[in-house]
Amino acid sequence: MKLVDTHCHINFDSYAEDRAAIIMRAAEIGVTTIINPAIDLPTSHEILQICEQFTGVFAAVGVHPNSTVDFTPALIDDLRPLVSNSHVIAIGEIGLDYYWRESPKDQQWSAFEVQLTLAAESQLPVIIHNREASDDVIAILESWAATLPPPLRDRPGVLHSFSAPESIAEQALAAGFYLGFTGPITYKNADSLRHIAASIPLDRILLETDGPFLTPVPHRGKRNEPSYIPLIAERLASIKQTTVEAIAEQTTANARRLFQLPE
């Protein structure tokens, strides 16, 4: 049984002491592919170095909305050379975050739109961060997706760690996006999220840890890691009334299709 963790910050300091062991532990239970999104230009470079060290780790490069306070359009000239690296399979994580208010909205919008343009030029899908900005995020994405060239039109990207209302899920699916589900789908108070997951076609769902955050039950409160992906798959199998094997097979196929991952 093969699984993909489509969103884990394996480059973060919380993994520094045992990164190799974590990747090996995940591989031993079938999580043989990990996608590591960046949060800024330095981490974009850092992740590419990790990809060189570990088979099965792939990169998304980009600037997170909370890292955009000093963003200028010229930064794209520094990101653009990275997209041709064979380990880079997406632009991300990018988007809008109105919760933390680390960066002014106009800065977040500027960075978001310029990076969407880079993704279209590079024919790479996007990994979208959205926190309390659903209406603006989906409006921008719908407009952007409608202009994409054919190779990218059917796989524009994923709304990572989906937690928005069901109406946003419907709009995202209509625009061609995938939805990523993380540890909260296992939480006791997440009935509305499970309801959304139940209504979404399985061929549009991705599994994510968002490690080291959002650890699933029964490890909630501890550091998250890719080896916990089967716990999310098990909960999704229960929601979808199918087998874990079926969830693994379809979500792995989804990840390969969206990110053009090797077999």
pLDDT (tens digit, 9 = 90+) per residue, 217-236?
999 999 999 999 999 999 99
pLDDT of residue 242: 98
Over residues 15-35, the mean pLDDT reads: 98
pLDDT of residue 263: 79
pLDDT of residue 191: 97
pLDDT of residue 69: 96
pLDDT of residue 135: 98
Closest by Cα among 67, 77, 76 to 43: 67
pLDDT of residue 232: 98
pLDDT of residue 188: 95
Residue 78, number of CB atoms within 10 A of its CB: 13
pLDDT of residue 243: 98
Which tokens go with 231? Answer: 């716990």
In contact, 141 and 168? CB cutoff 8 Å: no
pLDDT of residue 146: 97
pLDDT of residue 192: 96
Number of domains in the chain: 1
- 165 vs 182: CA distance, rounded Å: 16
Amino acid at 224: N
- 197 vs 28: CA distance, rounded Å: 27
Chain position carrying tokens 């690296």: 85
Query: Is the predicted pLDDT of residue 262 greater than 90, yes or no?
Result: no
Q: How confident is the model at residue 12 (pLDDT cuts 50, 70, 90)?
A: very high
* Residue 127 backbone class (left: φ over 0; alpha: ψ -120 to 50; beta: rest): beta
Closest by Cα among 89, 86, 29 to 62: 89
Q: How confident is the model at residue 14 (pLDDT cuts 50, 70, 90)?
A: very high
pLDDT of residue 178: 98
Which tokens go with 218? Answer: 């029964």
Percent of the chain clearing pLDDT 90 (strictly above)? 96
Residue ranges making up the domain that contains 28: 3-259
For residue 63, the domain's CATH number is: 3.20.20.140
| 86-140 confidence digits (pLDDT tens) | 999 999 999 999 999 899 999 999 999 999 999 999 999 999 999 999 999 999 9
Over residues 24-45, the mean pLDDT reads: 98
pLDDT of residue 25: 98
pLDDT of residue 201: 98
Percent of the chain clearing pLDDT 70 (strictly above)? 100
| 40-87 confidence digits (pLDDT tens) | 999 999 999 999 999 999 999 999 999 999 999 889 999 999 999 999
Residue 13, number of CB atoms within 10 A of its CB: 8
